């Protein structure tokens, strides 16, 4: 996949005809995958490249009052590009969604960007809208000279698969549901930093992680995870939240890797979130905490047997 970062349509130097996909695509969930599957199918039939015009950040930043969560994603920049390549994108065009871009009418967008990208066919989702006049598939059908493929809603459990639904599930800690919607485990990345080292004293040393990417974290709780470290994958359990048993008031993200004891400060760990074990609980004694951690470990190690 080739990536181009552009300022506006004048930076586009596309000479070959394309199958053009349009949309934001945060997370590349199962609904998005249906769309790219169709684009790839059309491209292979016609001997064309699949091109995607999208944005590194949410278009909502240009329209809504700022909230920090608007900067969060469902996949890191690196993972998003890997996923886009895996679903068949050949040419990735990235442009910031600016006020100038947002002021284009639907027809102006077609006359500039779509024309410059040499689109022979367009593939969009059923709820895709574009231009300051909020045009949809009807304008595409009326004004675009080539074929327009509108991909219908992809439903799971009777409801549309969407980024909004995934974010809501993460906020509830429902990482298994998130995996169903994505078609893969939810993934985050962090760098190992120094913490209180209290876990060592109770037999459960943890790697304290500082999140590296602007991605949504699951709700506070204890989770079963798979941890990618130096080309190996370790089962483990992660906790997100405040260490209330020891009167902690800072938000912590820690992971205990089973069968692993090396010092890995400064290492980058990738976490696959597999399931939620329990809420964060304040224990009356260290011994009660240890007994609960032993039960958490037993469940985490056996997770594949009942997941």
User: 222 near 280, Cβ under 8 Å?
Assistant: yes
CA atoms within 13 A on the CB side of 273: 32
Give yes or no for residue 307 having a pLDDT over 50. Answer: no
User: 303 near 222, Cβ under 8 Å?
Assistant: no
262: its two tokens: 């090396």
3-class state of residue 94 by DSSP: strand
Q: What is the DSSP letter of 135?
A: B
* Residue whose pair of structure tokens reads 């070959």 in the numeric block: 16
What is the spatial distance between Cα 238 and Cα 222, in angstroms, rounded to a whole number? 6
Dihedral sign for Cα atoms in the order 162, 168, 171, 175: negative
Domains of the chain: 2-160 (3.40.50.620), 185-306 (2.40.30.30)
Averaged pLDDT for residues 47-74: 95
3-class state of residue 29 by DSSP: coil
Rounded to 5 degrees, φ, ψ at 2 are -100, 135
Averaged pLDDT for residues 222-239: 95
pTM as predicted: 0.90
Looking at every residue in the chain, the average pLDDT score rounds to 91
**By CB neighbour count within 10 A (0-12 exposed, 13-18 middle, 19+ buried), where does 30 fall?**
middle
Averaged pLDDT for residues 71-85: 96
Averaged pLDDT for residues 93-102: 96
CB atoms closer than 10 angstroms to residue 240: 21
């Amino acid at each position: 996949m080739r990536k181009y970062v552009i300022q506006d349509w004048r930076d586009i130097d596309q000479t070959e005809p394309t199958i053009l996909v349009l949309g934001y695509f945060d997370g590349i969930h199962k609904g998005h995958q249906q769309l790219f599957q169709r684009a790839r199918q059309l491209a292979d039939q016609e001997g064309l490249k699949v091109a995607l015009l999208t944005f590194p950040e949410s278009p909502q930043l240009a329209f809504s009052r700022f909230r920090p969560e608007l900067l969060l994603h469902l996949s890191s920049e690196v993972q998003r590009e890997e996923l886009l390549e895996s679903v068949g994108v050949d040419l990735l065009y990235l442009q910031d969604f600016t006020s100038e871009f947002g002021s284009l009418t639907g027809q102006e967008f077609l006359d500039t960007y779509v024309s410059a990208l040499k689109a022979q066919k367009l593939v969009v989702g059923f709820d895709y809208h574009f231009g300051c006049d909020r045009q949809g598939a009807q304008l595409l059908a009326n004004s675009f000279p080539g074929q327009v493929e509108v991909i219908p809603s992809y439903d799971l459990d009777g409801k549309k698969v969407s980024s909004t639904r995934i974010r809501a599930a993460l906020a509830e800690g429902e990482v298994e549901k998130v995996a169903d919607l994505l078609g893969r485990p939810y993934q985050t990345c962090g760098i190992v930093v120094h913490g209180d080292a209290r876990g060592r004293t109770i037999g459960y040393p943890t790697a304290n992680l500082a999140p590296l990417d602007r991605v949504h974290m699951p709700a506070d709780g204890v989770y079963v995870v798979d941890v990618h470290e130096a080309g190996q994958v370790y089962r483990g359990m992660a906790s997100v939240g405040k260490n209330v048993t020891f009167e902690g008031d800072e938000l912590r993200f820690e992971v205990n890797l089973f069968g692993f004891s090396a010092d890995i400060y400064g290492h980058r760990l990738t976490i696959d979130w597999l399931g939620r074990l329990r809420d964060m609980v304040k224990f009356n004694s260290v011994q009660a905490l240890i007994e609960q951690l032993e039960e958490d470990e037993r469940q985490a190690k056996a997770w594949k047997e009942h997941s």
